[in-house]
């Protein structure tokens, strides 16, 4: 039965990365569009993009922490 925990950890980590990657991809798309429309705002857009990317990645890493706890216990 401990094999199920490993399976859940692997599946959970994969699905968390799918969600995080998709979210950050859409964020980068919006940032590209914004910078293309107004190149002079590129610095502000870059700062906002990095902050939003770190927040999304924080959420993804919640799930990773849960998966690590599943895999080692």
Partner 1 sequence: MVAEHAAEAGNMGQQVGHMIMHHITNGPHMELPSYNDFTNEVHLPHIPAFEILGVTIDMSITRHVVMMILAAVLLILMGLLIRRKIAIVPRGFTSLVESFVLFIRDDIAKTTMGEAGARRYTPYLCSTFFFILTCNLLGLVPYGSTATSNVSVTAALAFMSFLMIQGAGMRKMGVFGYFKHLIPPGVPWWLAPVMVVVELMGVLAKPFALCIRLFANMVAGHAVILSLIGLIFVMSFWVFPLTVAFGAFMYLLELFVALLQAYIFTMLTSLFIGLLIVGEH
For the bound state, the minimum distance from the C-beta of residue 32 to partner 1, rounded and expressed in Å, comes to: 20
68 sits near partner 1 (criterion: CB under 8 A): yes
Q: Which 37-56 residues touch partner 1, going by CB under 8 A?
A: 47, 50-51, 54-55
The answer to the question of residue 61 lying near partner 1 (CB under 8 A) is yes
Pick from 65, 47, 56: which is nearest to 20 by CA?
56
Question: Does residue 69 interact with partner 1 by CB under 8 A?
Answer: no
Q: Interface with partner 1 includes 10 (CB under 8 A)?
A: no
Q: Among residues 40, 57, 70, 73, which is the contact residue for partner 1, using CB under 8 A?
A: 57
SS3 58: helix
Closest to 61 measured CA to CA, from 21, 26, 16: 16
Identify the three-state secondary structure at position 1: coil
């Amino acid at each position: 039965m401990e094999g199920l925990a490993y399976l859940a950890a692997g599946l959970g980590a994969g699905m968390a990365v799918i969600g995080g990657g998709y979210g950050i991809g859409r964020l980068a798309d919006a940032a590209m569009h914004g910078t293309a429309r107004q190149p002079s705002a590129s610095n502000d857009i870059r700062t906002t993009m990095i902050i939003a990317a770190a927040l999304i990645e924080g959420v993804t890493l919640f799930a990773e922490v849960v998966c690590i706890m599943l895999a080692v216990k």
